[in-house]
Structure 1
Amino acid sequence: MTDDFPQRIVCLTEEPTEVLYALGEERRIVGISGFTVRPPRARKEKPKVSAFTSARIGEILKLEPDLAIGFSDIQADIARELIKAGVEVWISNHRSVAGILAYIRRLGAMVGASARAEAYARQAEAHLGEVRALAAALPRRPKVYFEEWDEPIITGIRWVAELIGVAGGEDAFPELARQPLAKRRILADGGEVVRRAPDIILGSWCGKRFRPEKVAARPGWAAIPAVRDGELHEVKSPIILQPGPAALFDGLAELHRIIAAWAHRAPG
């Protein structure tokens, strides 16, 4: 029996690699993103052929892929070059928790693993439900400011805001979280964070370490409850800023851990 599904897949971002490994379909992967950290064995087993906004097109073509998988408008130029070279490309553009779950199911179907993908998505849904139930029992809910980048200040994307809600918090900038593009989530006036007075500040600066002391030193930010109470925390970008399983499992768990600790602490 022949396998009519893609045999040589290049994953231009982390989430398809994590999903395919979770589904037991890693044999199909011939190249991955250099930012891939999940699962750890992927970095040892697969050649790294792309970053997020750039890729070694020549190296990718040498791998003779029959499918390349990427994410978002930011990878449009990479996709264009591969398409011009005759490679089939799938660029997903999901931005929500529901979108991540649908992505798992679609990717599973593309490699002939629909049943396993459905089971995996249901496992993620069950985890979401468990954390939501734990959050409902918390004595109080904090207002949470999530910072994706510092210069310029960029607030959290939609799936992060939704996961903050599931974990027991309230996102400080829900209107910006609905904006799919990072440039639409740039906060021109840092004073707006001061005015919204978050109880917790979470930082996940993609590609560099979060510096809580720099955040706390911004003009006027000493008045923010989170700064006053020392509630500035880093959430590592690999578990929250990629729209895949990592965010639904480890990212959500870390959000809830931070929020629950705040909720059970005696109000200052």
Structure 2
Amino acid sequence: MTKHDPFPHRIVCLTEEPTEVLYALGEEHRIVGISGFTVRPPRARKEKPKVSAFTSAKLDEILALQPDLVIGFSDIQADIARELIRAGIEVWISNHRSVEGILAYIRRLGAMVGAHEKAEQYAQRAEAHLAQVRATASACSRRPKVYFEEWDEPLITGIRWVAELVNIAGGEDLFPELAREPLAKHRILADGGEVARRAPDIILGSWCGKRFRPERVAAREGWDEVPAVRNGDLYEIKSPIILQPGPAALFDGLDAIHAVIAGWVARHG
């Protein structure tokens, strides 16, 4: 921090969403290190050193950057945070899991770097986009049942913000009772046959870092009569735009889901 700028100005981002938000707010000059998984915005990978994965980090390299704030996400990064705190570094670990949580995160992060007004404008842009998609979807004649698969071995259903975006986009999440479980291990389907019994109209896959294989899904035992399989309505939503609780999910992720649902309604409505 400087005398003229009391806000953090050497920030390390352990996940992509703080990087995306800070670039969107024009505060990227404060970032001195990013996650190696960062793809948004593309220029960040060219401009900032990559010092972490998701469950691991190059602690020596982070300390060498002399950060005055490190930003991470969730209990999964608790060990990294502990080591940095022991080294005397200030750490903020967010743990939001909903659409409202993402909007609050944008506002909170903006305030932390002295960009409250820009963050408020950005959050309002996101809220307007959510409202526009919701209004468009509400005019559709049918709401398809949507199964979102976050992982295939074992089967893991979608987290809360994903389920909420499915509903905003005009669908009905197939496992609403699991969506509120914050930990992936609590969203594991012990019986894959339950998907077939609930008969989704659409299957969306985002296998967190590997390519979704609809043909493998369609070949699962007992799934041949699932409406989504029978009609070929299996689609990939790229993980960078949906599996991180940041702006990408509210814009590109939501748009991708809505495009699939709108296409289904046009064919089946």
1:74-129 Cα shifts (integer Å, max 9, x gaps): 00011011111111000000000000000000000000000000000000000000
Moved over 2 A (4+): none
Q: Give the counterpart of 1:74 among 69, 73, 76.
A: 76
For residue 33 of structure 1, what is the aligned residue in structure 2?
A: 35
Which residue of structure 2 lines up, in the alignment, with residue 132 of structure 1?
134
Q: Whole-Å Cα distance in 2 between the matches of residues 58 and 192 of structure 1?
A: 47
Tell me the CA shift for residue 168 of structure 1. Answer: 0.2
Shift of 1:266: 3.4
Q: What code does the residue aligned with 1:78 have?
A: I
Matches of 1:171 and 1:44 in 2, distance apart? Answer: 38
1:223 CA drift (Å): 1.2
Q: Which residue in 1 is equivalent to 2:202?
A: 200
Shift of 1:246: 0.1
CA distance in 1, matches of 2:58, 2:210: 23
Find the residue that maps to 2:105 and give its secondary structure. Answer: helix
Query: Are 1:109 and 2:128 an aligned pair?
Result: no
**Correspondence for 1:241:** 243
Q: Indicate the residue corresponding to 1:177 in structure 2.
A: 179
Residue 223 of structure 1 aligns to a residue whose secondary structure is coil
Offset from partner CA, 1:192-250 (integer Å, 9 cap, x none): 00000000000000110001011111110111100000000000000000000000000
Match of 1:223 among 225, 229, 233: 225
* Pairs aligned (count): 267
Residue correspondence of structure 1 range 249-264 to structure 2 within 5 A: 249-264=251-266
SS of aligned partner of 2:71: strand
SS of the residue 1:154 aligns to: strand
Matched to 2:214, the amino acid is: P
Aligned match of 2:190 = 188
CA distance in 2, matches of 1:230, 1:62: 52
Secondary structure of the 1:265 match is: helix
Residues 24-51 of structure 1: CA deviation (Å, up to 9, x unaligned): 0000000000110000000000000001
2:147 counterpart of 1:145: yes
Q: Does the aligned pair in 2 maintain the 1:155–1:176 contact within 8 Å? A: yes
Which of 98, 101, 122 aligns to 1:99? It is 101
1:161 alignment partner, one of 148, 160, 163: 163
Residues 139 and 264, structure 1, Cα contact 8 Å, conserved in 2: no
Deviation track 1:140-166 (CA, whole Å, cap 9, x = no partner) reads: 110000000011110000000000000
CA distance in 2, matches of 1:151, 1:81: 31
1 CA distance for matches of 2:11 and 2:216? 41
Letter aligned with residue 228 of structure 1: R
Counterpart Cα distance in 1 of 2:159 and 2:229? 22
8 Å Cα contact 1:198/1:224 also seen in 2: yes
Shift of residue 139 of structure 1? Answer: 1.5
Secondary structure at 1:222's aligned position in 2? coil
SS in 1 for 2:12: strand
Conserved 8 A contact 1:34-1:50: yes
Q: TM-score, normalised on structure 1?
A: 0.99
Give unmatched runs, 5+ long, in structure 1.
Answer: none
How far the C-alpha of 1:260 sits from its partner, in A, is 0.3
- TM-score for the superposition, normalised by structure 2: 0.98
Matched residue SS, 2:220:
coil
Q: Which amino acid aligns with 1:157?
A: I
Percent of pairs with identical residues: 80
Secondary structure at the aligned position of 1:140 is classed as: coil
- Which residue in the other structure is 1:14 paired with? 16
Q: Distance in 2 between matches of 1:61 and 1:218?
A: 48
